[in-house]
Chains A and B, each alone.
Chain A
Amino acid sequence: KAGVTQTPRYLIKTRGQQVTLSCSPISGHRSVSWYQQTPGQGLQFLFEYFSETQRNKGNFPGRFSGRQFSNSRSEMNVSTLELGDSALYLCASSLRKTSGTSMDTQYFGPGTRLTVL
Chain B
Amino acid sequence: EDKVVQSPLSLVVHEGDTVTLNCSYEVTNFRSLLWYKQEKKAPTFLFMLTSSGIEKKSGRLSSILDKKELFSILNITATQTGDSAIYLCAVEAGSGGSNYKLTFGKGTLLTVNP
Contacts and interface: CB of A to CB of B under 8 A. Distances in A.
B23 interface: no
Contacts of A66: none
A56 B101 contact: yes
B99 interface: yes
A61 B25 CA distance: 25
Interface stretch (A14-22, A75-83, A100-108): A100-108
A33 interface: yes
B98 A50 contact: yes
B44 A103 contact: no
Interface residues of B, number: 26
Nearest to B92: A103
B16 interface: no
Interface in A32-59: 33, 35, 42-45, 50, 55-56, 58
20 contacts: A4-B42, A42-B104, A42-B106, A43-B107, A44-B104, A45-B103, A55-B98, A55-B99, A56-B94, A56-B98, A56-B100, A90-B42, A100-B97, A102-B32, A102-B92, A103-B32, A105-B45, A108-B42, A109-B42, A111-B41
